[in-house]
Structure 1
Amino acid sequence: MKKKEIIISITIAIIFTLFVGYGIEVFDSTKSYSDFCPEELYDIDNKEECLTEGGSWNEFETPIVSPEKEESIVEPNKRSCSPTKECRKNYDTSKSKHDKIVFIVSIIVGLIAIFTGVFLKKDAVSTGILSGGVLLIIYGTMRYWQHANDTLKFVLLGIVLAVLIWIGYKKLK
């Protein structure tokens, strides 16, 4: 391939991946942490208001050694209001569901792009679409990787490896 064709292929791959990634966000947008855990809680500095607003009150105590006395005195030195563990759990559940959708859509569209790229006649376009499919599969896998169990990771990597080897034989005659 010539330099221009290489640049076009790389550009198609990147834009294709971004296009699908943003498309997923349009139809199933990522929820923000603040949608589940109000950030205003961090500004509250008294226990009653914190609990009324649904926060969790924290008091951290540190022993302070008095030079005049041989014993240490425990005084609270840090107090804060923070969101409850439940709001974080709800956020993590929502994020996991969204990442799974990203994963499934990326795998399906990525495989379609790879197979389409194999059969297209224009070398620069076919390489770009094929590469975009590979990038999309990598993107979807990275988004869901932290949620997947080891068996799924092993099977997924095996499938991707098999597809890439098949492409190597099919495309590089």
Structure 2
Amino acid sequence: MAYSREALIEAVSAQMPDKRWQHTLGVMETSVKLAKQYGADPVQAETAAILHDVAKYWPVERMKEIIEQNGLSADLLQYDKQLWHAEVGAFVAQQEYGITDPEILGAIRYHTSGREGMSLLEKVVCLADYIEPGRDFPGVDEIRRLSKVSLEEALVAGFDSTISLLLQKRRIVFPLTMLARNDLVRILEDKI
């Protein structure tokens, strides 16, 4: 059974602390704005934004179990647990909330990592997650500025920021993020 917008909001907001719900509201608003600016479907963008962090506060054991028992990307378990909620969230959106639109599911699945060949909706939701009004990290204002000019330029800046932080902390960089970044750079180079 598919949920109404209001039922989705009620169900998802109940699963997270108020501060994270405020973040989700910011991603919803920013996703709709970016969708309108770049020609994506605002309803799809808002739906993906509502659900993008649905599993963020689930116990790690529960996420691991869902990944293992449902044939999800098991290699994800070798990487930072912060990435798991996106894959699990897409699964939950489909199984528990009746979301069948592959565009929306992809936007939820890749909002943290990106991927090579990102769809327009995936780019919109991923970027919205970076730049929603509550975000405050070094470089976010520049990413926001770039978002007014180019989805790809802004996403490259966002991925560069993430990768740089991971390198500084001597953490493992998830391969999909590198592939996403490099793919976007190629797209931008092809435009020149």
User: When the two structures are superposed, what TM-score results if normalisation uses the length of structure 2?
Assistant: 0.26
Which structure exhibits the higher relative contact order, with contacts defined as CA atoms closer than 8 Å and separated by 6 or more residues?
1
User: When the two structures are superposed, what TM-score results if normalisation uses the length of structure 1?
Assistant: 0.28
Q: Which is strand-richer, 1 or 2? A: 1
Which of these two proteins has the greater Rg computed from alpha carbons?
A: 1
